[in-house]
Chains A and B, each alone.
Chain A
Amino acid sequence: MAGPIEQIRNVCALGALQSVVAIQRAIPIIHAGPGCGQKLWSGLSNGNGFQGASYVGGHAVPCSNATEKEVVFGGEDKLRETVENTLKVMDGDLFVVLTGCTSDIVGDDVGEVVRSFKNKGTPIVYVETGGFKGDNYFGHELLWEAIIEQFLEKSDRMEQGLVNVWSVIPYQDPYWTGTLHAIADLLRSIGLKPNIIYGPGEGVASVRKIPSAQFNLLISPWAGLKTVKRLEEKFGTPFFHYPALPIGATESGSFLRSVGSFAGIPVSRVEETIKREEERYYYYVERSADLLFETRFLPGHFVTIADSFYSLGLTRFLINDLGLIPEVQFVTEAVPEEFRPLVETEFARFDEGLVSPVHYGADGATVRDELAKHKFRERPLILGSSWDRVIARELKGYPLSVAMPVSDRLVLSRTYAGYDGALRLTEDIYSVILGSFQ
């Protein structure tokens, strides 16, 4: 059983509506009360790097705005009317009905309503994402289950080299847009053709292409595994699972080698790419060495307070590349029991002296209580959310907001993934340190 949560760092299953918003020209239709959309958008988007409403987010999302009438007598008629008129007003290529708590508790037959439109040829799917069913990591996978079952069609040919990219969750990760592009660039650099579903690009066409890919690439500790497994079952597309978000030379090289090997890219091609990227990367790293080692503005031990994508990805980079020492790591989402061993293994892949305790499903109370037990002799580096700036101040730490909610930064195309991303991260960390006394 879940318990009360202090300082939320993710939202409910209906938060998947933002994953729909992230697909260009896909239009979510919320079947819920009047405030659900605004709250989720404000938490995931505007309260998280000021990501904005985009094409059809924020108050533009069609919504049945359920009232007492729909709760007492059922909301199917209201939904039918909302969908019918959405199709007349909104310009989209895929419509996704997402339900909230009210509809799921009263038991509206949303499937029936949506099928009646689908039967007339409308590209529409539905997903029951009542907030009490789970968090938005869960909701995101429900969404994909729905799209796979209700929208995707088997392709009669496989496109060699085409790779569907599954990784960070749009909007939950304030850096998702830049991150997906960085991953696409890495894949292109070894000759693969990335299919990026979210953000600027092909929009719904990239969704339709999913079944024709050579393979599905999942870069994630655990979230998304259900989706790629389902795609394998349904379309026979194999998947390659790389657990850590590649940040920096060590992890990016390792990622390119393993994905290259899986995809059957010649080793020489991969090694040439890595060599070229590393030469460029280390040109900049070399320049940073004077600051790092002459001025000795090194932070003390580091703490990450982020979801498993970032907690693991950042930890790998900070230990393997930047040479820092971990103190304690907080994974903020509730990793489902079945995936815990997988994630734990990844966090344990360091020399014994560099393995730090990891707290899963950590909320504000966990962070506060746990950090109170640690004695920081030097100013720690605290990579967390904007919630954590308060405790960072108390500990005289160096805070950098990297995880939801991020309210102290405007995020557009920034990313910490890949080679360039790691340089950005190094710049950001040292800008915080240098800015702290000036």
Chain B
Amino acid sequence: MGLKEDRVVPGREDRVAACMAYGGSACSIGGESKACLKNSERGFSQAGICQLLPTLGMLLTLPDIAVIIHGAIGCGSAGFGMNVSIRLHHLLRGNPNAKDSLWFSTNLDEADVVHGGEQRLEETILTVNERYKPKSIVVVQTCTPSIIGDDLVGVVEKVRPLVEANILYAHCEGFKTKVWATGYDVAFHAMIHGYIEKDKEGPPPRKAPWQPGQRPTVNVINLASVGKPDEEEIERLLNAIGIDVTIGPNFADREKVRQLTQADLTVSICPTHDDYLVDYLHTEYGIPFVLKDMPIGLENTRNWLLDIAGKFGLEKEALALIEAEEARARTAVERFLPVLKGIRVFLSAGEFRALVTGGLFQELGMEIVGVRSYHHDEFGTDFYGRLVNGQQGKDFPVDIANFQPFELVNLLQQVKPDLFAGHIWDNAWAARLGYPTITIFRIFDYYVGYRGFYEVAKKAARILRNHSFNANLSRNVTDAYRPEWYEQNAFKYIKSGLPEGLQSDTAAV
């Protein structure tokens, strides 16, 4: 099975044995059995997110869409905030007049739970199409209609011939998967089925393979967490070695999504984000791919560029560019190095992002003292070891957690880092404890490539100069955990996936 055949996208715990709960260290995680990691869970947990959020985070980037959330009214609560963030993306893309997405909830109530919501959904799709004529309609399935048995695909396929808009459907029931990164797959599935597989014109034909001598065009799969500045950096580097770039499918329209099938290579900038789509383009369109690195930090950028260049015999051009850019970047960050030297950093983000950013910090003379990753899969495994090797074998604790700030604050108080680099909604918890914090991504800034190397160094040096806000905050707010919690193992509530009776104590920090 794969993206083309899957009627409903499988959860990542099944598709790639992704793990959501693990407490150990960078040295230990690589040795764990995949089956155990996949089955581990928590006896105490805090509110995470569900796959609906990343799915919509991607689908909302599509221009001129109407979103219909099929469910109770609360499932659409994040709507406006997401609209605002997409508007910011558009502003950065020089597109200030981008229309907001149209937002609808089928608003299921108690009577609908008894009688079913299919008819309401069908009428809503038809009305939205008729009244607003959006280019695309995104229909999102949530927990309630799923449990009562509403057949989303049935309704969509029934109305598809009746509406002009492309219909994209997404099964986003929160209870169906523990791994919210499944939402990326769901969004890819929705786009590919909506714009290619079930498009009125059918899928585009296969393109002839690349021949030496031709200027290659590569797909770069973008992410909602990578801003326009980073996309520009990626484009600049690839163009400089003679490669044209199609960036998508986020922010792409139907035509651009279809254009992805006509590339000579698909390039991922975040393997754990992209493999489902990359596999589709490979299987259905024979497009080779590069799926193992993220161009953050000098070494990772070097590996990433050389991998791509190697597919087209452009290694020489790539090496020349890398040497020149690295030299420039190293000179540029020199003024920050005295401040950054020996700074102990704690990283928190999606696994891949956290690990490659760790490499960047090591290149600036800093030490990694802890990583909290949202989930774990095989794409990240080697990178833990690389970070340990990058600091003379010094190991550090690793927490695999879908948020779970109770574990994070406990770890931070044990590790006491000099700097915390976190994903959205992580930094405030560290700031409350007084630690200087920087965002591990922000769509306004550069993180990728050589420009990113410089900007992250500058950002870190800036917060280390003055973090009085954080220090004052920690002196004046209390947190919601019992004092004795801080005396316990941060991983106390993680239950390993081993069958009962074989459970050993979780690794000490």
By a beta-carbon cutoff of 8 Å, the part of chain A in contact with chain B is 1-8, 10-15, 27, 30, 33-44, 46-47, 52-53, 55-56, 58-68, 70-71, 81-82, 85-86, 88-92, 100-102, 105-106, 130-136, 364, 385-387, 390, 405, 407
Contact = CB atoms under 8 A, between A and B. Distances in A.
A35 B174 contact: yes
Interface in B468-509: 477-483, 485, 493
Contacts of A47: 77-78, 80-81, 84
B53 A85 contact: no
A40 B74 contact: yes
Interface in B66-117: 68, 71-81, 84, 100, 102-113
27 contacts: A1-B112, A4-B123, A5-B73, A10-B73, A11-B73, A12-B72, A27-B480, A33-B173, A34-B174, A34-B175, A35-B48, A36-B174, A38-B48, A39-B75, A55-B479, A55-B480, A59-B403, A61-B47, A66-B175, A67-B175, A68-B176, A88-B485, A89-B406, A89-B485, A101-B144, A102-B147, A407-B80
B175 A131 contact: no
Interface string B392-405: 00000000001111
Given A55-B480, A407-B84, A34 B178 contact: yes
B402 A7 contact: no
A35 B52 contact: yes
A59 B72 contact: no
Interface residues of B, number: 69
B49 interface: yes
Contacts of B103: 6-8, 364
Contacts of A14: 74
A47 B477 CA distance: 23
Interface in B34-65: 43-53
B47 to A, nearest CB: 3
A92 B480 CA distance: 7
B428 interface: yes
Contacts of B107: 2-5
A130 B142 CA distance: 13
A7 B53 CA distance: 17
Nearest to A4: B124
A4 B105 CA distance: 6
A60 B406 contact: yes
Nearest to A15: B74
A42 B106 contact: no
Closest 6 CB pairs of A and B: A35-B50, A12-B74, A43-B77, A37-B47, A131-B72, A47-B81
B48 A63 contact: yes
B155 interface: no
B45 A82 contact: yes
A38 B402 CA distance: 12
Nearest to A52: B428
A405 B100 CA distance: 14
A89 B481 contact: yes
Given A8-B79, A63-B45, A82-B45, A39 B53 contact: yes
Nearest to B131: A365
* Chain B binding surface SS class: mixed
Given A47-B81, A55-B479, A132-B109, A39 B43 contact: no
Contact of B109 (A2, A41, A390): A2
B77 A44 contact: yes
Contacts of B175: 33-34, 66-68, 70-71, 102
Which of B43, B109, B477 has the most chain A CB atoms inside 10 A of its CB?
Answer: B109
A14 B75 CA distance: 10
Nearest to B178: A67
Nearest to A406: B80
A86 B493 CA distance: 11
B425 interface: yes
B78 A61 contact: no
A308 to B, nearest CB: 17
B208 interface: no
B8 interface: no
B71 A131 contact: yes
Contacts of A44: 77
Contact of B44 (A7, A8, A89, A136): A89
Interface in B400-434: 402-406, 425, 428-429
A102 B402 CA distance: 20
Contact of B47 (A1, A4, A34, A102): A34
B88 to A, nearest CB: 11
